[in-house]
Amino acid sequence: MTLPRGWHRLNSIWQGNEEVIQQGLPHTKLAPAWQLLLLGDGSPTRHLQLLTQEATEVDVIDMSLIGMDLDGAPNLIQAVPGPRLRRQVWLRTASGQRLGYASSWWEASHVDEYLQNRSLPIWASLANIRTELYRDIQGIYYGYSDALAAGFNQSGPFWGRHYLFWHHGQPMTLIYEVFSPYLTKYLGPMDLGSSNGG
């Protein structure tokens, strides 16, 4: 089987695990408003909508069957039953400003059940069918990606994270998200007191 093109993972210069996520980061590394976005368990698409006062829309750039391949994803991909489908999207305002990137991995046989309208953000799709979820954030990243720098039209470094969505005690999907530094317009500086955020 020939695998489709890859997804946009950060080349990390720093990363934190679940313990770091539970404790939070020093504000000199990541400012409080950015910690709410990255470490909070609320919906990022909802947060982006509240920040920008525009609807958050998605541009689906990839829906690829990857079978049982681990796809270079975080190890938690093994919690999602296979065969799997990978979905990649840009999160943007209705007026077109890209604010985030997300890659997600789903059990291929169930993806249509959860993403009935694939052009909607995941949060909106799941809210429409009243799905109860738990967002289990497991990793946080700070790093670079040429593809994301080009896509965001912003130079890095970027902050990202990965988490599992749980539904009825079962892992539903693994999601890897990266946010654009453009959000400093709404959230303020990424860090307090250091010049490089890292």
DSSP assignments along 16-81, one per residue:
E-HHHHHH---TTTS-HHHHHHHHS-S-HHHHHHHHHSS-EEEEEEEEEEEET--TT--GGGGGS-
Task: Name the residue with higher pLDDT: 42 or 115.
Answer: 42
User: Is the sign of the CA dihedral 72, 96, 92, 89 positive or negative?
Assistant: negative
Write the DSSP symbol of residue 4.
P
Instruction: Return the number of other C-beta atoms located less than 10 Å from residue 62's C-beta.
Output: 15
**Percent of the chain's residues with pLDDT above 90:** 63
Q: Identify the pLDDT of residue 116.
A: 52
What is the side-by-side order of every strand in the sheet holding 170-179? Answer: 11-16, 134-144, 158-167, 170-179, 98-107, 84-93, 56-67
On the question of pLDDT at 139 being above 90, the answer is yes
Q: Read off the amino acid at residue 21.
A: I
On the question of pLDDT at 125 being above 60, the answer is no
| CA dist., res. 37 & res. 47, Å (int) | 7
**What is the overall mean pLDDT for the chain?**
86
Tokens 């999602």: give the residue: 80
Closest CA to 136 of 111, 108, 101, 171: 171
On the question of pLDDT at 132 being above 70, the answer is no
**Percent of the chain's residues with pLDDT above 70:** 82
On the question of pLDDT at 198 being above 60, the answer is no
CA–chain centroid gap for 65, Å, is 19
On the question of pLDDT at 89 being above 70, the answer is yes
Q: Mean pLDDT throughout 131-152?
A: 88
Tokens 């720098």: give the residue: 149
pTM metric for this prediction: 0.87
Task: Name the residue with higher pLDDT: 43 or 38.
Answer: 38
Closest CA to 197 of 38, 37, 35, 28: 28
CATH topology of domain 33-66+82-187: Chorismate lyase (3.40.1410)
